[in-house]
Amino acid sequence: MIMVIRAGVLAVLLAFSSIAAATWISSAKDRVAEMAAPPQEAVAAASDVGYCNPELKRVLRRVLMSCGLVGGGAARGCQPVQAKNVATMSGNDFNALFQPMKDRGGIIQFDLDKSDLDNDDLALVDKVFADQRGASWFFVVARSSPEGTVEHNRDLSKARAEAVMSHLKDHFKDPDLEKEVGMLWLGKEFAQLDTKFCDWTRSSKESCGAKEINRSAFVAWIDCQL
């Protein structure tokens, strides 16, 4: 009788040990699987979700590659014809991409046929550029109003973009500047702004119409995750 009882106790102990071992092994496997699993992709920042839609990212990537920021080139800038993915868009569609960045950007307004920056222009450039907030790319998109020839306005808008770039170099002494700043000069032939952009932060407090808003350079940090 005693032998039967001992055998029963031994069987119970063996069964308990087997269950405990199996549970421990299963738990260990789960821990190993958790350690080996790739990290979860970080959730994009609100700004990326808000305005960094796929179309803006495609334009941004094309501009970065075509205008000197990717591939080791300096921030030499370019015209839309060089950034082909931009040139194939309508002007209204191109401008619509930047409308959600109203709070991150500013519009530097120039006098007719001029590319000089006055004190109000400089102050706005400095304010926008200083507010980087971890963003990677600073865009300068210059335009001109319809007066004059196509060729003259291409040169004028290029001079406006370069005036902003020259000031950034002189004022901020940022060693990474030429890897951060992308320039486009649109002349009068592509993506003219309409008057709703007069509601943006502007360097001029004077009246704003279709001509005035296009004698300008749009500046903004873009913090899209490419």
The CATH code of the domain that includes 187 is: 3.30.1330.60
Residue 43: inside a domain: no
| Tally of CB atoms within 10 A around 141 | 28
Residues 209 and 102 in one domain: yes
Q: Which domain holds residue 139?
A: 49-222
Residues 12 and 55 in one domain: no
Q: 1 with 66, same domain?
A: no
For 156, the token pair is 């004028």
pLDDT tens profile 16-36: 455 444 444 454 444 434 333
Same domain, 64 and 130: yes
Q: How many domains does the chain have?
A: 2
User: How far are the Cα atoms of 124, 194, 226 from residue 120, in angstroms, in the given order?
Assistant: 6, 22, 33
Both 12 and 110 in a single domain? Answer: no
Q: Which amino acid belongs to residue 211?
A: K
Q: Collect all residues with Cβ–Cβ distance below 8 Å to 62 and sequence separation of at least 6.
A: 83, 84, 85, 86
Q: What confidence tier does 215 reach under pLDDT thresholds 50, 70, 90?
A: very high
Is residue 44 included in any domain, yes or no? no
Instruction: State whether 206 and 149 are in the same domain.
Output: yes
3-state secondary structure of 158: helix
Q: Are residues 2 and 73 in the same domain?
A: no
Which tens digits make up the pLDDT trace of 165-210? 999 999 998 888 878 888 899 999 999 999 999 999 999 999 999 9
- Residues 125, 217: Cα–Cα separation, whole Å: 10
* Averaged pLDDT score across all residues of the chain: 78
What is the rounded (10 degree) CA torsion for 49, 52, 55, 56? 170
d(CA 219, CA 160): 11
